[in-house]
C-alpha cells in the first residue's frame, strides 16, 4: 500500500464528462479519460483493507488493492498484468460497469469510495496502447474443439480462456458482427466499438475462429453441432425482452429498446439502413418505459437523434436519496441514481403504470398511465391519478425475461430452471453432457461483469471436463 493515510489526504475526484451541450451533439464517448497523475493520486486512497470488500463486490474478484497500489507507485505496466489476471476485457468494464466494487468499498461507509472504475479504465486503456492486446497463444494445443455460441461478453471471455488453454475454439454469432450486446446493445457514447475489434483481433491471434452470421440451430442443426465439437459453450444471452400487454401495443412507434439501440449502433458502424424500418427519435416526443440502464441508453440515444422531449417512466416508486438503515453498507445501495443520459435532459417519473397507448393512423400519439402505490408488496392504482403523455415514439426498456427458447435451447432439450434460464452446475455444465452455459443464458439478465466472470468460470469448467474426456476426433481417428 503506497500511502496508508492517502484516504485522509486526497478527496475523491471522478473522471470528467464532456459538457452536456457538446456531447449530445456527437456519438463519441462522453467520459474524458483522467490524466494518469490524477489517477495515481486517487489510487493512494485505497486502504488495502484486511477484508477488501471490493473483492466481494466484484464478481471477477479483480485484485483491486493490488493494482491500486501499483498504479499509485507508477507501475502501471505491472498493474495491467495484475488486472488482466482476472479480467479479460477491463476496457469494457472500466467503461460500462456500474461498479459494485465501489459500492462495497470500505471508504463508502462514511465517505466516498475509491474511484476503482476510473483506475481500472486507466490501466486498461494504458494496456491496450501497449502490450495488453498482443495475442498470447497457448504453447501446447490440445487438439480439442470447442464451440462457443454467442459473442457477447460471456462468450468472448470463455472463448479467450479456452483458446489460451490450448483448445481450438470457434465462436458462432447470429448477427453480422461479433460482439453481441457489447456491439449492438451499448451506445457508442458510452463505449466506442473499436475496443471490441482490438480484442477480436487479439483472439484471432490466439487461434479463435469467428463465424458471424451463423444461426447454429438453423444452419447446422443441433445434433450435428453436438457431434462436431468436444464441448459447446452456450452464451446466447437472455434476449427475450419483457413485453407490455396493453391496448395499442401494436401501434406504429412502439418499439423494443434493443431494436432502437441496435439500429443506431449500426448507423454509427457505417451500415445503411432501410428507411422504412428505421426507428428514429428525431423531432419526436419520446417516452421510454423502464428506468434501468437500457432505458437510459434510449434516453441518450433519443436526445442525440434530436428528440423534442424524452420522458422516462418507472413503475417502481422513486428511490431514497440516501441509503436507508435497512439497506446498509456493503449491500448495493438502493438509492436514486442519475445516469449521464438522464442528466442530458430526461423528464423522469416514478410509480407510473402504463395502461395503454393512443393511436392515430396506426401510429402512437399518446400514452395513458396511472400513478400507483405499493402496499405490502402489492401495487395499487391511485384513484383519479390518471395521466396522458403525448408522444410519437415509445421505447420499451423493461428488461429481459430469459433466453430465447426457440433454437438450440429447445433442439438440445436443455433443462431450464424455475425462472426459465438454462440450468447448469457450478462448472457451467447443463443437463446435456458436453454442453455448458455461460452468462445471461443461465443467469438471466445481468451485468457485463457477471458475463465475463461466468465466461471465465465456465471455461475453467470446460477445460476440466475436457481433460477428463478423450478428444472426439482422436477417438474417431
Partner 1 sequence: MLARRVTPRILPPTMPLPSARGLYDPSFERDACGLGFVADLHRPPTHDVVTKGIEILRRLAHRGAIGCDPCTSDGAGILLQIPHAHYERVLQRSAIELPNQGDYGVGQCFLSRNADVRAAEVRFIEDAIRHHNQKVIGWRDVPVDVSVLGPVARDSMPVFRQVFIGRMCAVPAFERTLFMIRKRATSKASRAGLHDPYIASLSSKTVVYKGLALPERLEAFYFDLKADDTRSKLALVHSRFSTNTFPTWERAHPYRRIAHNGEINTLRGNQTWMRARESLLASAAFGEHIADFKPIIRPGGSDSASLDNVVDFLVTGGRSLPHVMMMLVPEAWEGQPEMPAERRAFYEYHASLVEPWDGPAALLFTDGTYLGATLDRNGLRPLKYVVTASGYVVAASEFGVLDFEPEDIIEKGRLQPGRMLLVDFAKGRIVGDEEIKQEVAAAKPYAQWLEANKIDLRALPPSSPPPPFGDEERRRFLRAFGYTREDIRLLLASMATHGEEPTGSMGTDAPLAVLSERPHPLFRYFKQQFAQVTNPPIDPIREKLVMTLVTCLGGEGNLLAETPKQCRLLELEQPVLTNEDLATIVAQPLADFSVTVLPMLFDARAQGAGEALERALLALCADAERAVDEGASLIVLSDRGVDAARAPIPSLLATSAVHHWLARAGKRMRAGLIVETGEAREVADLALLIGYGAGAVNPYLAFEAVDALDAEAPRAERGLHYVHALDKGLLKVMSKMGISCLSSYQGAQIFEAIGIGPDVISRFFPGTASRIGGIGLAEIASEALLRHAGAFDVPVRDAQTDEDAVDAGGVYAWRVGGERHLWNPYTVASLQKAVRLEDARAYQDYSRAINEQGDAPFTLRGCWDFASTRPAVPLEQVEPATQIVRRFATGAMSFGSISREAHENLAIAMNRIGGRSNSGEGGEDEARFVPLPNGDSKRSAIKQVASARFGVTAYYLVNADELQIKIAQGAKPGEGGQLPGHKVDEHIARVRHSVPGVTLISPPPHHDIYSIEDLAQLIYDLKCVNPRARVSVKLVSETGVGTIAAGVAKAHADSIQIAGHDGGTGASPLSSIQHAGTPWELGLAETHQVLVMNGLRGRVRIQVDGQLKTGRDVAFAALLGADEFGFATAPLVASGCIMMRKCHLNTCPVGVATQDPVLRARFQGTPEHVINFLFFVAEELRTIMARLGFRTLDEMTGHADVIRPRALQHAKAKLLDFDAVLMRVVPEASALHALGSGQQGTAELWSSGGSTDEALLEGARLSIKYGEPTTMQMVLTNADRAFGARLAGELARRYGAEGLSDGTVVVEATGTAGQSFGAFATRGMLLVLEGAANDYVGKGLSGGVLAIRPPARSRFKAHENVIVGNTCLYGATAGKAFFAGRAGERFAVRNSGAESVVEGVGDHGCEYMTGGTVIVLGPTGRNFAAGMSGGIAYVLDDERVLAGRLSKAMVDLEPMTRDDEDLVRALVEEHAQHTTSVRAKFVLSTWAKRHFVKVMPHEWKRVLTMRAGQPVAAKAAGGHG
Stretch that binds partner 1, among 1-9, 10-18, 28-36, 236-244 (CB under 8 A): 1-9
CA pair distance 243, 395, nearest whole angstrom: 11
Phi/psi for 428 (5° steps) reads: 95, -5
Nearer to partner 1, 8 or 379 (CB): 8
Query: What x/- string results for residues 392 through 431 when contact with partner 1 is judged by CB under 8 A?
Result: ----------------------------------------
Stretch that binds partner 1, among 4-12, 296-304, 395-403, 440-448 (CB under 8 A): 4-12
Site for partner 1 in 346-375 (CB under 8 A): none
Q: The C-alpha cell of 139 is what?
A: 504453447
Query: What x/- string results for residues 127 through 146 when contact with partner 1 is judged by CB under 8 A?
Result: ---------x--x-------
CA pair distance 309, 306, nearest whole angstrom: 9
CA pair distance 157, 155, nearest whole angstrom: 6
Site for partner 1 in 72-91 (CB under 8 A): 75, 77-78, 81-82, 85-86
Assess contact for 124 and 130: CB atoms under 8 A: no
Close Cβ partners of 117 (under 8 Å, ≥ 6 residues apart): 93, 94, 97, 99, 101, 102
Q: The C-alpha cell of 164 is what?
A: 489460451
Pairing relationship of beta strands 363-375 and 378-390 according to DSSP bridges: antiparallel
What's the distance, CA 113 to chain centroid? 22
Q: How far is the CB of 88 from partner 1 (least distance, A)?
A: 13
Cα dist. 207→70, 156, 214, 461 in Å?
31, 13, 19, 20
Nearer to partner 1, 77 or 411 (CB): 77
Start-to-end Cα distance in the chain: 56
Which of 20, 242, 329, 350 contacts partner 1 by CB under 8 A? 329
Site for partner 1 in 9-68 (CB under 8 A): 47, 49-53, 55-56, 58, 61, 63, 66
Stretch that binds partner 1, among 22-30, 107-115, 183-191, 406-414 (CB under 8 A): 107-115
Query: Which residues make up the interface to partner 1 (CB under 8 A)?
Result: 4-5, 7-8, 47, 49-53, 55-56, 58, 61, 63, 66, 75, 77-78, 81-82, 85-86, 104, 106-107, 109-110, 136, 139, 325-326, 328-331
Amino acid at each position: 500500500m503506497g500511502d496508508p493515510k492517502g484516504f485522509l489526504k486526497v478527496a475523491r475526484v471522478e473522471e470528467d464528462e464532456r459538457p452536456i451541450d457538446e456531447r449530445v451533439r456527437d456519438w463519441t464517448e462522453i467520459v474524458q479519460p483522467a490524466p494518469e497523475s490524477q489517477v495515481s493520486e486517487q489510487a493512494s486512497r485505497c486502504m488495502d483493507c484486511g477484508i477488501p470488500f471490493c473483492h466481494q463486490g466484484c464478481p471477477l474478484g479483480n485484485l483491486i488493492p493490488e493494482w491500486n497500489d501499483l498504479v499509485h507507485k507508477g507501475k502501471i505496466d505491472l498493474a495491467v498484468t495484475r488486472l488482466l489476471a482476472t479480467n479479460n476485457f477491463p476496457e469494457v468494464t472500466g467503461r460500462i460497469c456500474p461498479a459494485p466494487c465501489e459500492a462495497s468499498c470500505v471508504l463508502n461507509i462514511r465517505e466516498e469510495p475509491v474511484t476503482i472504475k476510473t483506475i481500472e479504465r486507466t490501466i486498461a486503456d494504458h494496456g491496450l496502447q501497449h502490450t495488453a492486446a498482443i495475442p498470447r497463444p497457448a504453447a501446447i494445443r490440445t487438439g480439442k474443439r470447442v464451440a462457443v455460441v454467442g459473442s457477447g461478453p460471456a462468450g468472448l471471455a470463455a472463448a479467450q480462456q479456452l483458446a489460451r488453454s490450448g483448445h481450438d475454439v470457434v465462436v458462432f454469432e447470429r448477427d453480422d458482427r461479433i460482439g453481441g450486446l457489447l456491439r449492438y446493445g451499448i451506445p457508442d457514447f458510452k463505449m466506442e466499438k473499436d475496443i471490441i475489434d482490438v480484442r477480436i483481433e487479439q483472439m484471432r491471434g490466439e487461434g479463435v475462429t469467428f463465424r458471424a452470421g451463423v444461426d447454429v440451430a438453423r444452419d447446422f442443426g443441433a445434433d450435428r453441432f453436438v457431434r462436431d465439437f468436444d464441448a459447446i459453450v452456450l452464451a446466447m444471452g437472455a434476449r427475450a425482452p419483457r413485453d407490455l400487454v396493453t391496448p395499442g401495443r401494436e401501434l406504429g412507434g412502439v418499439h423494443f429498446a434493443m431494436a432502437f439501440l441496435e439500429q443506431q449502433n449500426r448507423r454509427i458502424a457505417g451500415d445503411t439502413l432501410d428507411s422504412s424500418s428505421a426507428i428514429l427519435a428525431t423531432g419526436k416526443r419520446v417516452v421510454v418505459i423502464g428506468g434501468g440502464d437500457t432505458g437510459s441508453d434510449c434516453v441518450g440515444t433519443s436526445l442525440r437523434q434530436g428528440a423534442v422531449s424524452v420522458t422516462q417512466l418507472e413503475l417502481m416508486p422513486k428511490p431514497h436519496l440516501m441509503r436507508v438503515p435497512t439497506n446498509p453498507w456493503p449491500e448495493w445501495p438502493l438509492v436514486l441514481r442519475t445516469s449521464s443520459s438522464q442528466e442530458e435532459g430526461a423528464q423522469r417519473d416514478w410509480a407510473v403504470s402504463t395502461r395503454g397507448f393512443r393511436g392515430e393512423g396506426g401510429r402512437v400519439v399518446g400514452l395513458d398511465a396511472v400513478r400507483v402505490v405499493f402496499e405490502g408488496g402489492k401495487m395499487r392504482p391511485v384513484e383519479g391519478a390518471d395521466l396522458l403523455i403525448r408522444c410519437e415514439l415509445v421505447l420499451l426498456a423493461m428488461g429481459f425475461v430469459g433466453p430465447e427458447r426457440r433454437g438450440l435451447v429447445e433442439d438440445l432439450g436443455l433443462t431450464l430452471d424455475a425462472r426459465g434460464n438454462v440450468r447448469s452446475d457450478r462448472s457451467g455444465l447443463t443437463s446435456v453432457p458436453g454442453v455448458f452455459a455461460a452468462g445471461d443464458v443461465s443467469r438471466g439478465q445481468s451485468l457485463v461483469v457477471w458475463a465475463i466472470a461466468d465466461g471465465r468460470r465456465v471455461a475453467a469448467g470446460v477445460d476440466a471436463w475436457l481433460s477428463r474426456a478423450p478428444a472426439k476426433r482422436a477417438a474417431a481417428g
